[in-house]
Amino acid sequence: MSGSWLESSIARRWFLARLGAGVGVLGATAVGSSTAMAQSSAGAPWKPARHSQDDWLEKIPGQHRFVFDTTTPDGLALGFQFAANYFTANHDAYGLEDHDLAVVMVARHKSTSFGYNDAMWAKYGKQFSEQAGFVDPKTKEPPTVNLYLERMDPLIKKGVHFAVCQMSSHRIAGAIAQANGGEVESILKELAANLVANARVVPAGIVAVNRAQERGYTFVYAG
């Protein structure tokens, strides 16, 4: 075996060994860098995304924020009671005024219809009643007025805002269109123009519940 062949073989082995070591170092660096980035990302505090559609929640004045989620007529009625207690207790025990409290009440699912005024109940009471599973307790017939307005008005005067579910409203508009004719979108626009005071249509009641909590509103489910 010649010396030149042996030297060449040793040189090749040394080169391949160095190459393998280099790849290992590069691989370790890449993995380490990826892990460090993941750890850095995981360690950063989570913050919810903000969307302009939800900025109205910031415009309600108040030192304290509360959102009531309601899905049934009975739940909405309970929400009225809870909200009234909230204002009373904050006034009596803390000396806070109505404008110190930001309160939102979400009307979704079967409580949605109560976000609309007497004119809409007079026109579409049958469909509202069927969707809500609610009848006039005295006549046992579909109401021709919003029977909850009497309880809503005092809360509205205190500054309570109502978020009315667009998705449920769309289903109601579909039932109205099927029963009476007309186009769903036109009926939706009519409903949106006839909300109770201090109310707005939101993309979905459940989304409003989520966004309110992300903006610092304490949550309670009224039913």
* Residues 75-113: tens digit of each pLDDT: 999 999 999 999 999 999 999 999 999 999 999 999 999
Query: Nearest 5°: phi and psi at 47?
Result: -130, 135
In a domain, 30, yes or no: yes
DSSP label at 198? T
Please give the pLDDT value at position 223: 84
Calculate the average pLDDT of the chain.
Answer: 87
- What band does 43 get if pLDDT is binned at 50, 70 and 90? confident
107, 155 contact by CB (below 8 A): no
Q: What is the mean pLDDT of residues 164-174?
A: 98
- What band does 41 get if pLDDT is binned at 50, 70 and 90? low
63, 53 contact by CB (below 8 A): no
Same-domain pairing of 34 and 105: no
Instruction: List all residues 6 or more positions away from 172 whose beta carbon is below 8 Å from its beta carbon.
Output: 112, 113, 124, 127, 128, 131, 191
Same-domain pairing of 217 and 173: yes
Same-domain pairing of 38 and 60: no
Same-domain pairing of 96 and 192: yes
Alpha-carbon span 13 to 130, nearest angstrom: 85
Same-domain pairing of 61 and 12: no
Query: Nearest 5°: phi and psi at 200?
Result: -145, 150
Q: Does residue 42 carry a pLDDT above 90?
A: no
Q: Does residue 24 carry a pLDDT above 80?
A: no
Pairing of strands 101-107, 64-70: parallel
Q: Does residue 28 carry a pLDDT above 80?
A: no
Q: Number of folded domains in the chain?
A: 2
In a domain, 11, yes or no: yes
In a domain, 50, yes or no: no
Alpha-carbon span 159 to 111, nearest angstrom: 20
In sequence order, what are the beta bridge partners of 219?
A: 67
Domain encompassing residue 93: 56-221
In a domain, 195, yes or no: yes
Same-domain pairing of 76 and 165: yes
Same-domain pairing of 36 and 62: no
